[in-house]
Amino acid sequence: MKNKNNRMLLLGSLAVAAALSISACGNTTSNVKKDHSTANVSEETTREEPAEKEGTVSEQADLQETSVSLATSTADNVQPGADGIPMVKLPEGISGMKAETKPLKELRDLIIEDMEVPEDYYDTTHYFYNYIDLNDDGKNEIFVMVTGPYTSGTGGSSALLISENGGKLHITQEFTLVNEPIIVSDKSENGYHDLIIPYFGNHKTQYSVLKYTNGAYINVPDGEMIDRLDGITGKAIIANDLLNEVQAGIMGLSLSDK
């Protein structure tokens, strides 16, 4: 699930900087359903040493600005967080929340174990998470996006869907090609809310609608592609304005923080 690259800290820290290449080819890892399911991971992704990203810092920053504007619509329904930086603007009908700022040791350890992150990459690997009840059972899941030169590629970053069972965290599903904000739609299928994720493929920005099918969400590249968020209602998680946060020196939670 790893992608090879040797880029700068800025690229590693910016969650969608790696995701904002014009093409998402060569980084199409399938979702993995944990706990007694069969892993379905493409041969193109490995857990070996990171490889070089495509695109310059300036090119990816330009695309980041484009992605934020495309996720922005009529509503200015955001408020600054404790760091003084507002969330990205979201369309009318979609509320949002920034990622949690409290480090979770168990979550951090789970990320390191599952993604096999070498200690040399702890400082440049960051995670952003929110609690969200995806199946309306009254219990929150955790959705976490992991960014950095070891976990991100030209199409997006790695992510995990995590549940709690017996007082411990368990990985329910793995994702790749994830970009923020992640919209949890009010619309549900098979008992789980649809997830809508920005997708930067085919030389344009779209949104991939992930439906819950056969016990898991479908892969980001296989979702129903839509061009706009008109008429969609729900809540956006990890709705941080990462471009402005990184420029302000705010990098998210680091794996080096225990």
What does pTM read for this prediction? Answer: 0.72
Euclidean distance between CA atoms 55 and 30, whole angstroms: 24
Give yes or no for residue 126 having a pLDDT over 90: yes
Quickly tell me which residue has 């040493």 as its tokens.
49
Euclidean distance between CA atoms 65 and 57, whole angstroms: 12
DSSP letters for 155-168? TEEEEEEEEEETTE
Euclidean distance between CA atoms 169 and 200, whole angstroms: 31
Asked whether the CA dihedral 178, 183, 189, 192 is positive or negative, the reply is: positive
Give yes or no for residue 20 having a pLDDT over 80: no
Rounded mean pLDDT, 130-143: 98
Tell me the pLDDT tens digit for each residue of 22-72: 333 333 333 333 333 333 333 333 334 443 333 333 333 443 443 333 333
- Residue partners of 144: CB distance under 8 A and separation at least 6: 107, 111, 127, 128, 129, 159, 160, 162
Residue-level pLDDT at 184: 98
Euclidean distance between CA atoms 242 and 85, whole angstroms: 9
Tokens of 257: 């923080």
Tell me the pLDDT tens digit for each residue of 58-111: 333 443 443 333 333 333 333 445 578 999 999 999 999 999 999 999 999 999
Residue-level pLDDT at 82: 55
**What is the layout of strands, in order, in the sheet containing 204-210?**
94-96, 234-237, 182-189, 192-201, 204-210, 224-226
Q: Report the chain's mean pLDDT, rounded to a whole number.
A: 77
CA proximity to 94, closest of 66, 73, 80, 79: 73
**Residue with the larger pLDDT of the pair 43 and 146:** 146
**Residue with the larger pLDDT of the pair 26 and 172:** 172
Per the CB < 8 A criterion, the answer to whether 21 and 49 are in contact is no
